[in-house]
Structure 1
């Protein structure tokens, strides 16, 4: 499965967060698209509308397990996708900004 590290990502890279609502509200990467894994198949159209046509979809969750499952699903659909190793825990650990649903400093739940 294609995998990237937080260090591989640039500010403009597309990020899909598949954590649940309460995790997202506590803290997420600014600019990420949020579609919880539990709703992913039903809301798949939101991703196809928002994702770049010629870029990779970088999928993130808390630690990498759920995002790995979604990455495999996207690859089966023919989408260029990569799992973000370590998830939001690695994101925050690397000093990348985490914001809550009001745009204030957040935390990884």
Structure 2
């Protein structure tokens, strides 16, 4: 029986991971930056300009959103450390997307390197 680690390792062998050093360029060149973490993780902080679609809903949201349906979109994905993003990238390749990259090390590596983060502001209830 395969473990989650086995599935991530297999996915990483088939996808393109972009290094942290090359991430800013890849993100600038991308048509869409996707955060595939859960909603609470996204709300706690995310990469500026990221669109949130949790890993569990990814295929459904892409299929149901005309602006994201073009298979030649340049897509960069990330999650917390890279596992979910690798699985998501593999799913996008399986769906026929051509230009898919996953951020190696994910959000944690981005934040640890001191790159900018976005945090939604909450309304004041004074």
TM-score, normalization: structure 1?
A: 0.80
Q: Say how many residue pairs are matched.
A: 103
In structure 2, the gaps of 5 or more residues are 1-14
C-alpha deviations, 1:46-79, integer Å up to 9, x for none?
Answer: 6661488755211100000000000001111221
User: For 2:41 and 2:71, how far apart are their aligned partners in 1?
Assistant: 28
TM-score, normalization: structure 2?
A: 0.71
CA contact (8 A) 1:17 1:34 kept: yes
With over 3 angstroms needed to count, the CA separation of the structure-2 counterparts of 1:51 and 1:63, relative to structure 1, is farther
Superposed, which structure 2 residues align to 1:39-50 within 5 Å?
A: 39-45=57-63, 49-50=67-68
With over 3 angstroms needed to count, the CA separation of the structure-2 counterparts of 1:52 and 1:96, relative to structure 1, is farther
In structure 1, the gaps of 5 or more residues are 104-109
Q: Runs of at least 4 residues of structure 1 off by over 4 A? A: 50-55
1:66 paired residue among 79, 84, 89: 84
Structure 2 residue aligned with 1:95: 114
Higher relative contact order (CA 8 A, sep 6+): 1
RMSD: 2.3
C-alpha deviations, 1:1-44, integer Å up to 9, x for none?
Answer: 21101221225233110000000000001101110112212211
